[in-house]
Amino acid sequence: MNAPRRLPAKDVVIIGLGWTGSILANELTDEGLDVVAIERGPWRNTADDFAPNTVQDELRYRIRHELFLQPSQTTFTFRNRMNQSALPIRTWGAFMPPNGVGGGGVHWNAETWRFLPSDFVLKSHLTQRYGARFLPQDISIQDWGVTYAQLEPHYDRFEYLCGTSGTAGNLNGQIQAGGNPFEGPRSRPYPTPAQAQPFSHTLFAKAAREMGYKPFPQPSGNLSQAYTNPLGVRMGPCTYCGFCEWFGCANYSKASPQTTLLPVLVRKPNFSARDQCEVTRINVDASGKRATGVTFIDSSGVEWEQPAELVILSAYTIFNVQLLLLSGIGAPYDPQANKGVIGRNFTHQTISDVESFFDKSKFNFNPFIASGAIGMCIDEFNGDNFDHGPHGFVGGGYMGQVQTNGRPIESTPVPPGTPRWGGQWKQAVRDNYLSALKPGTGVHGSMYSYRDVYLDRDPTYQDRFGRPLIRITMDFHENEIKQNAFLTDRFAEVFQAMGAHTVNRKYRKGPYDITDYQTTHLCGGAIMGTDPGTSAINPYLQSWDVPNLFVMGASAFPQNAGYNPTGTLAALALWSAHAIRTRYLKNPGALLHA
Amino acid sequence: MPEGTTHALWRALITAGALLLSACVIAQGGDSDHFDDIQRGRYLTLAADCGACHTDPAGGRPFAGGRPVHTPFGTVVAANITPDAETGIGNWSDAQFEAAIRQGIRADGKRLYPAMPYPYFVTLTPDDVQAIHAYLKSVAPVHQHVATNRLPFPFRERIVMRVWNALYFDGSEFKPDHGKSDSWNRGAYLVQGAGHCGACHTPKGLLGGDKTQQSLHGDSQQGWFAPNITADAVRGIADWSSNDIVAYLKTGHNQFAAAAGPMAEVVTDSTAKLTEADLTAIATYLKDQPGTTAHHTALSAQDPAMVAGAAIYSDLCSACHKPDGSGVPYLIPNLVRSDSIASREPTSLLHVVLHGAQTAATGAEPTAPAMPGFGRQLNDAQVAAVVTYVRNSWGHAASAVAAADVRAARAKHE
């Protein structure tokens, strides 16, 4: 191939224009910098791509994965254990890699959680409370190097950018009725009140309350009312159509880069974007300590070099790790030697569900009245909100009736024992559609990090450019299986109390199944921390090795908590942007010396 | 004599002096390059939205021409008005420029077509025309030939314009109404002159001339209906406050409605860039334009089209526009208070329902929400029913729309 054509230098190049790329683009253009974002997928906006009369198409978007990366463009290989050979993933299962402008912010459900204060100091907290010997062998959890208190203003900014609907549970240390009493203190209420809850969600809350729990509405980026964000972008009230996850929102009511940031960003003369362009490498100078820009390939196969003073890596978790590995930035993780950092502490989530069936003459749930982040939840079994001592595991998750839809293909639960097709199946669907509940991700458990769960370069399989695919090595450990059994049982008890005649517990069991969807919350692989020996980036998300490279996203999480990650990764992006604006730009260089 | 008028008189005298002075400069072979003139000219160029036609929206250089203007008589292409000597207007004198702007006569003596809105620009003061010329002389010259006349016979013979002018062009200057406020008169001057609002909003006769008795009563243009913008209680904007009008022109949006189609372009290219004082002046003038529509009676809710329309509205429209038509302020238009619903002709409503529309994006209102088209989903009778329903609900009363109207609207769009 010829030498790449060189484009005029920019102040900043952003790799991937999803949530964190859009946030950084907005922050850094506000600083007056000339910013270009390079996005592998297509440009997408509400007006052209998400029409309310075509977007509610489960076959097109959910089953056929319209908004997602196509494995023919690039994929990963997978194996459970280190002694196995990994094989390429040819259709998505356990998670759905996003693609295109807006990234995962387009197709998410918009659950907008904050992590618990103890989640950010997990290792020291658990060690202090239970002793180091209580932790599973080979667990590699770490403290984050940033505290909840430091992130709070940035959580707040993100929620006000999105117009998040919710009920505060802790205002400046004062516990609030109706909110989550376990959450960290927030400096002000949610910008909009919680969404109205349909019947089944209300019933779950009532049963939970009677059992002594403190149910609260899930914080939602599907708005309860019209909202104008601080940038002047208008959002509309959610219409409860029940087509959030896998779909773009046509009503301007689900927070996404398209509905909060991009309308302002695209008007800025110092912002530009290239879609359908895939960054193949972050370039570094001869010293290896300074990024000089990126190389990308456009849809015609032409290779370009985009020089820049500052590089923001804000792709999806695995692609962040891939670009670091393929660019030779940071030491690749070696699980045998337990050395190196890139690919380390890769995690996902431990999800399970309970399907419950009620007497149809007494219960009509109208499950199609829903939104992606609707739901009534309890947080008694999340993080370290309960004493793990008697249970022999660590971690937890929120749980709740968070049913997001009553769509015809995937949300037609039938009781155990029903044939999977034919007349009896159809009759069972008819009999149960209105009176059965399927929360989907009812138990939203954490997954902690282990020495043998990681990402590296596959030795066999390559992408269309001849680069090694990323290999996922992941299995559930006993700690997570025990955690899930305990949580699923607690969850099922609430449905029994609601009056279900049949409760089908769908425990999460090992081995980790790459074909069964859990969530798209892949975390870690380029984690943050205060020790360059065990982290790829410092607490400001700045590469230890290349100080003019910042790595955004959930790849920074040292382990995953029992919540959806977007609120936290967005808060981290704003926290990092703040450090860049107030400190790095004044004196470019390492913000923290180890 | 009110104080404002005295000022206006003085201004006129000073202007006359300035004009004499600049005439002397030109006589000496120089150009007017006075900062004040150029900046006033730039502002008037925005108010007149010269760039809308004279800059090719497909990446053309400013004012280098090339945008086709489709008229009922054929296509005219906007000329290059940069100061390029050969292909632009670099050799034109101020007098020649004024003749083109105010009389529709080119430097070579040939007639312009009224796609160039000289019948409105005639009301511009010579002083303002000279300022526009001063500004245009300051922009970068672009060497670009533009074949402006693509009209079919007989219209391509520019001589026909003599007949047209005799019929429609009265060549009268702006006459201030001394009984009205300065703001009203400024508004009148902008609406009638530079803004050439009537070019779209005033109904046209057989040969495309204004029906002056129905000034600003609304007309169909380019597949849209430029609505009645008088204070007509039935069809116009009587229930919009001055602030609503200013917000609409400044940002493309107000609490009831949003600019889409050709008006979205007018807002983003022109009115959004005008001063609050001028927009308030425009609102003052418009709100003082009397309506003439006699009372209309809404169709009965039992009318079959209304029954069908109500059902379709409930299924497809009410989630966003709300069952009572009230919408979401600044995001989803309010069908009760929008100006485009009960208009004389349903052109805009049909356009939006069939093909969808995106609203204007401006600095103050960057969201630019859009509505999708339902033309593939609904047949002609269904579109007719829902449009008829919307035009006869929530206090509206307007003509029913027939399936044949929908068919014609579809055909016209292709």
- Positive or negative, the Cα torsion across A300, A301, A305, A311? positive
| ipTM score | 0.90
Give B253's DSSP letter: B
Adjacent-strand bridge partners of A38:
A15, A274
Which conformational region is residue B56 in: left (phi greater than 0), alpha (psi within -120 to 50 degrees), or beta?
beta
Predicted local distance difference test score (pLDDT) of residue A111: 98
**Would an 8 Å CB–CB cutoff place B364 in contact with chain A?**
yes
Q: What parts of chain A have a pLDDT lower than 50?
A: none
Pair of tokens at residue A407: 């769509």
Adjacent-strand bridge partners of A462:
A468
Residue A281's nearest CA partner among A303, A296, A302 is: A296
A564 burial via Cβ count (<10 Å: 0-12, 13-18, 19+): buried
Pair of tokens at residue A156: 């707040």
Find chain A residues with C-beta within 8 A of B358's C-beta: 47
Taking 80 as the threshold, does the pLDDT of residue B81 lie above it? yes
Report CB contact under 8 Å: A232, B365. Answer: yes
Instruction: Count Cβ atoms below 10 Å from residue A11 Cβ, excluding itself.
Output: 17
What angle, 0 to 180 degrees and rounded to 10, lies between the N-to-C axes of helices B347-355 and B380-391?
Answer: 130
Predicted local distance difference test score (pLDDT) of residue B34: 86
Chain center to CA of A7: 33
Report CB contact under 8 Å: B368, A47. Answer: yes
Residues A42-72: pLDDT tens digits? 999 999 999 999 999 999 999 999 999 999 9
Asked if residue A251 lies in contact with residue B350, where contact means CB atoms within 8 angstroms, the answer is: no
Which conformational region is residue A415 in: left (phi greater than 0), alpha (psi within -120 to 50 degrees), or beta?
beta
Instruction: Count Cβ atoms below 10 Å from residue B58 Cβ, excluding itself.
Output: 7
At B209, the pLDDT band (50, 70, 90 cuts) reads confident
Secondary structure element (H or E) that encloses residue A104, with its range? helix A104-107
Asked if residue A110 lies in contact with residue A373, where contact means CB atoms within 8 angstroms, the answer is: yes
**Would an 8 Å CB–CB cutoff place B319 in contact with chain A?**
yes
What is the pLDDT averaged over residues B237-245?
Answer: 95
* Whole-number Å distance between alpha carbons of B172 and B162: 16
* Whole-number Å distance between alpha carbons of A368 and A436: 12
Name the percent of chain B lying above pLDDT 70. Answer: 92
- A296 by DSSP, 3-state: which? strand
| Summary count for chain B: helices (H), strands (E) | 17, 7
Q: Which residue among B361, B366, B369 sits closest to A252, beta carbon to beta carbon?
A: B369
**Would an 8 Å CB–CB cutoff place B313 in contact with chain A?**
no
Taking 60 as the threshold, does the pLDDT of residue B8 lie above it? no
Adjacent-strand bridge partners of A219:
none
Name the percent of chain B lying above pLDDT 90. Answer: 73
**Would an 8 Å CB–CB cutoff place B12 in contact with chain A?**
no
Predicted local distance difference test score (pLDDT) of residue B207: 81
What is the pLDDT averaged over residues B339-365?
Answer: 95
Predicted local distance difference test score (pLDDT) of residue B19: 42
Find chain B residues with C-beta within 8 A of A227's C-beta: none
Query: How close A263 gets to chain B, by Cα (Å)?
Result: 5
A452 burial via Cβ count (<10 Å: 0-12, 13-18, 19+): middle
At B217, the pLDDT band (50, 70, 90 cuts) reads very high
CA trace torsion A129, A130, A136, A138 (10° rounding): 60
> Which candidate in B331, B355, B386 is best for mutational testing of the A interface (most A CBs within 10 A)?
B331
Residue A349's nearest CA partner among A449, A205, A282 is: A449
Find chain A residues with C-beta within 8 A of B319's C-beta: 52, 239, 241, 251
Predicted local distance difference test score (pLDDT) of residue B171: 81
Asked if residue A121 lies in contact with residue A561, where contact means CB atoms within 8 angstroms, the answer is: no
Residues B21-31: pLDDT tens digits? 444 334 333 45
Residues of A engaging B, defined by a Cβ cutoff of 8 Å: 46-48, 51-54, 226, 228, 231-237, 239, 241, 250-252, 263-264, 267
Residue B354's nearest CA partner among B306, B304, B299, B408 is: B408
Residues A317-355: pLDDT tens digits? 999 999 999 999 999 999 999 999 999 999 999 999 999
Strands A468-473 and A454-462: antiparallel
- Alpha helix locations (H) across A184-238? 199-210
Chain center to CA of A421: 34
Asked if residue B41 lies in contact with residue B134, where contact means CB atoms within 8 angstroms, the answer is: yes
Asked if residue B159 lies in contact with residue B49, where contact means CB atoms within 8 angstroms, the answer is: no
- In degrees, rounded to 5, the angle at the alpha carbon of residue B170 between the alpha carbons of residues B168 and B172 is 150
Residue A528's nearest CA partner among A558, A550, A567, A569 is: A558
Q: Which residue among A51, A250, A263 sits closest to B367, beta carbon to beta carbon?
A: A263
Residues B34-50: pLDDT tens digits? 899 999 999 999 999 99
Residues B246-275: pLDDT tens digits? 999 999 999 999 999 999 999 999 999 999
Taking 50 as the threshold, does the pLDDT of residue B1 lie above it? no
Report CB contact under 8 Å: B372, A51. Answer: yes
Q: Rounded to the nearest 5°, which phi and psi values hold at A281?
A: -165, 140
Predicted local distance difference test score (pLDDT) of residue B25: 39
Query: How close B284 gets to chain A, by Cα (Å)?
Result: 28
Taking 80 as the threshold, does the pLDDT of residue B285 lie above it? yes
| Peptide bond between residue A511 and the one before it cis (omega within 30 degrees of 0) | yes
Q: Which residue has tokens 């230890």?
A: A544
Secondary structure element (H or E) that encloses residue B285, with its range? helix B276-286
Q: CA separation (Å) from A425 to A407, A435, A547?
A: 17, 16, 59
Find chain B residues with C-beta within 8 A of A239's C-beta: 319-320
Pair of tokens at residue A452: 């043998």
Q: Clarify whether A391 is annotated catalytic.
A: no
Q: What is the DSSP string of B104-166?
A: -B-TTSPBPPTTS-HHHHTTS-HHHHHHHHHHHHHSPP-------EEPPTTTTSTTHHHHHHH
Find chain B residues with C-beta within 8 A of A232's C-beta: 364-366
Taking 70 as the threshold, does the pLDDT of residue B12 lie above it? no
Report CB contact under 8 Å: B330, A228. Answer: yes
Q: What is the DSSP string of A60-102?
A: IIIIS-TTBPPTTT--EEEESSTTSPPEE--S--S---B-STT
At B3, the pLDDT band (50, 70, 90 cuts) reads very low
Q: Which residue among B320, B361, B369 sits closest to A239, beta carbon to beta carbon?
A: B320
Q: Which residue among A48, A53, A241 sits closest to B316, beta carbon to beta carbon?
A: A53
Adjacent-strand bridge partners of A334:
A339
What is the pLDDT averaged over residues B153-168?
Answer: 83
Secondary structure element (H or E) that encloses residue B383, with its range? helix B380-391
Residue B263's nearest CA partner among B272, A233, B255 is: B272
* Whole-number Å distance between alpha carbons of B176 and B180: 8
pTM: 0.93
Give B61's DSSP letter: P
Give B313's DSSP letter: I
